[in-house]
Amino acid sequence: MLDLQNARIALVGLGEMGRRFARLIENKNGLEIVAAVDVDPSKVGQELSAVAALKAHSGVRISDDLDFILQEANPDLSIVATTSFITEVFPLIEKCVKSGSHVITPCEEMIYPKARFPQLAKRIDESAKENGVAVLGAGVNPGFFSDTLIITLTGICIDIQRIRSARMNDMSWGPMYSLRQLGVGFTIDEFDKRLTDGTIAGHVGFHESIHMIADSVGWEIEEVRASTKPIVSKTHRKADIGLEVHPGMSAGTSQLAQGIMHGRPVIELELQQQIRPEAEGVQIGDYIWIKGEPEINQAIRPGVSGGTSTAAIVVNQIPKLLKAQPGLYSMKDMLVPSFFIRI
């Protein structure tokens, strides 16, 4: 049986989120990082402490060989933080699972894979059960604000007609790659072209959140409609990294997704991600409205940092996943998320 007092953790992917996971795990009693993997040649061979800015020497050298570290380090659980897309992350999850490692991933499409990838979800579930491990997609958007928190609030309702949520984010802190994916700093013509060719991706996970909510409350969604528009700036703005937005350019994206049942929207999820929203009087925050009995109007102001909260919820779910029965899980299947100091 797994000794929960000393869980061995492998980090697969050391981008911004992977490094956040490393720093948070360093402060958790009962968790030990035993391996780290990344394909970036500039990171391979380096000490994890230097790459992730850890307080103490970890003794872990970054490798680019996942098969080798799974065999040599024998982690109890692997955090796979490489991509937003299930088809790209699936081979990594499969290797971890077959080695006997539990898996948590912030991959957005893994938050509720049965929504759009039921066959892959079935394969992961079957493989996890065959190898005696548990797999979970965890995050905050999707994974908490846009689904799990909503589902929790419906628990005090005796009737529900409609669910709406809005998340207003300040992305001024973001790296260039993320800001460009959100369309920050482009003219509107450039934004439209990049939206068409897919280089502006915006948010990934609307389908997953809507279907997780619907399945939890017993609604049958006929389709999901989604739209993405630029947030056209009226003022000069500048991101932390120096990327500038002039009036008439895109400061970010405004997205809306609707879950349709009986021909009308019953679930609406709005997401606005931009830099310096305060420049035009936008108050960041997370908002949920449930039309039913009772009526619910919930707000978290100011909004919670996506990077900090994603790292927290992934790491805080580790003890619960290590105790779970083998199989594939979503956040709605787990115990209520909670902070922990030690396992």
In angstroms, the CA 136 to CA 134 distance is 7
**pLDDT digit string (tens) for 106-140?**
999 999 999 999 999 999 999 999 999 999 999 99
Q: What is the pLDDT of residue 4?
A: 60
Higher-pLDDT residue of 303 and 103 is 103
pLDDT, tens digit (0-9, with 9 covering 90-100), for 180-227: 989 999 999 999 999 999 888 778 899 999 999 999 999 999 999 999
Give the mean pLDDT of the chain: 94
Residue 259 has pLDDT above 90, yes or no: yes
CATH number, span 148-303: 3.30.360
Q: Where along the chain do its domains lie?
A: 7-139+308-333, 148-303
Tell me the per-residue pLDDT of 64-107, one tens digit each, with 9 for 90 and over. Answer: 999 999 999 999 999 999 999 999 999 999 999 999 999 999 99
> Does this chain's domain 7-139+308-333 share its CATH topology with 148-303?
no
* Percent of the chain topping pLDDT 70: 99
* pLDDT confidence band for 2 (50 / 70 / 90): low
Q: 218-225: long-range contacts at Cβ-Cβ below 8 A with a sequence spacing of 24 or more? A: 219/259, 219/261, 219/266, 219/267, 220/261, 221/259, 221/260, 221/261, 221/266, 221/267, 222/260, 222/261, 222/262, 222/263, 223/260, 224/257, 224/258, 224/259, 224/260, 225/257, 225/258, 225/260, 225/265
The pLDDT tens digits of the residues spanning 170-180 come to: 999 888 888 99
Q: What is the pLDDT of residues 274-298, one digit of tens each?
A: 999 999 999 899 999 999 999 999 9
Class in CATH terms, 7-139+308-333: alpha beta
